[in-house]
Structure 1
Amino acid sequence: MSGRADSDLSPDTRADDADDAGHGDDVGHGDDAEGAGHGEHGEHGEHGEHGEHGEHDEHDDDTPHRARRARWAAVGAGAVLTLAGAAAALLRLTGSVPALVPAAYACGAGACALAAVLGSRGRTRRALWLLIAGLMVMALGDQFD
């Protein structure tokens, strides 16, 4: 039942719903509080000092390592894709394809090179999106072949 006051229920049903709703609110409030870590057990919840907050502190120690790995991944992927795009542009340039194809590969390689630079400076999200854009430009150039 919705428990709304304007429902068309008989008075005895409303009284039962009000009793159930009152009991349900207490149980729900306790569940929500424990789930959030602010239950009756104090500031740290039932897990104590090493519960949810202790695990969070362990992840804080790992954050510099994750950032370093993300930077290296952005630099590595950008460098590999730059070399691949430049090689493809040179190979397509020697063939009999429209000039748009090697230009697209070169532009995509340039975008990937810029992504490698951004990744080395810690702008890994922008580097990821630039890598995606560079690959899309290269794929678009390949469609004209």
Structure 2
Amino acid sequence: MRGSTESDVEPVTREAAEDPGTAGDADERAGGAGEHIGDAEEHAGDAEEYVGDARRARWAAVGTGALLTCAGLAAALLRSAGAAPALVPAAYALGAAVCASAAVLGAQGRTRRALWSLIAGTMIMALGDQFD
């Protein structure tokens, strides 16, 4: 094992891939890694797919957060009108507030945090239901 972190393989650049005289040398040096460097359409399709996936994740987080917020608020109103202890509607309202914050996080593009907020909000509502 050598102490140097530098690789013996030189990186393949776009210029080397486009120049027919050096493309074969670049492929030999990189071990055949330069085969797909000039394929810009494939990379553009991947970028569009990534943007579409991110957009769907944001909409899913916003929609789920809004739905759980409405459900939590409705449950809090129904439980407060009944003979349930005060802790039950408070738990539903708190869970709805956490789900509302998840909808905001999802709209901002923070979908992982939104997912965990949705889970936490639903767990708070379920825990409040156990006190009934």
TM surpasses 0.5: yes
Question: What is the aligned counterpart of 1:106 among 88, 93, 117?
Answer: 93
Shift of 1:122: 0.8
Larger radius of gyration: 1
The reply to whether residue 119 of structure 1 matches residue 106 of structure 2 is yes
Equivalents in 2 of 1:45, 1:56: separation in Å?
Answer: 18
Unaligned 5+ segments in structure 1 are 1-39
Kindly tell me the number of residue pairs found equivalent between the two proteins: 106
Q: How does 1:69-84 map to 2 (within 5 A)?
A: 69-84=56-71
Query: 2-side partners of 1:70 and 1:44: how far apart?
Result: 38
2:83 to 88, 96, 103: 96
Q: 1:132 aligns with which of 105, 108, 119?
A: 119
Displacement of 1:66 in angstroms is 1.0
Residue 46 of structure 1: how far off its partner (Å): 7.6
User: Offset at 1:62?
Assistant: 1.0
Residues in 2 aligned to 1:109 and 1:87: alpha-carbon distance in whole angstroms = 9
Cα distance, 1:64 vs. partner?
Answer: 1.0
**SS state at 2:85 partner:** coil
Q: 1:85 aligns with which of 69, 72, 82?
A: 72
SS at match of 1:122: coil
Q: Percent identity?
A: 62
Structure 1 residue 60: Cα displacement? 2.5
Q: Give the Cα separation in 2 of the matches to 1:41 and 1:67.
A: 37
Structure 2 counterpart of 1:130, one-letter code: S
Q: Which runs of 5+ in 2 are unaligned?
A: 1-26
Alpha-carbon deviation of 1:55? 5.9
Shift of 1:123: 1.0
1:64 to 34, 47, 51: 51
Higher relative CO (Cα under 8 Å, sequence separation at least 6) belongs to 2
Alignment partners' CA distance in 1, 2:61 and 2:52: 14
1:48 to 28, 35, 39: 35
Q: Take 1:69 and 1:45, find their aligned partners in 2: how far apart are those partners?
A: 36
TM-score by length of 2: 0.69
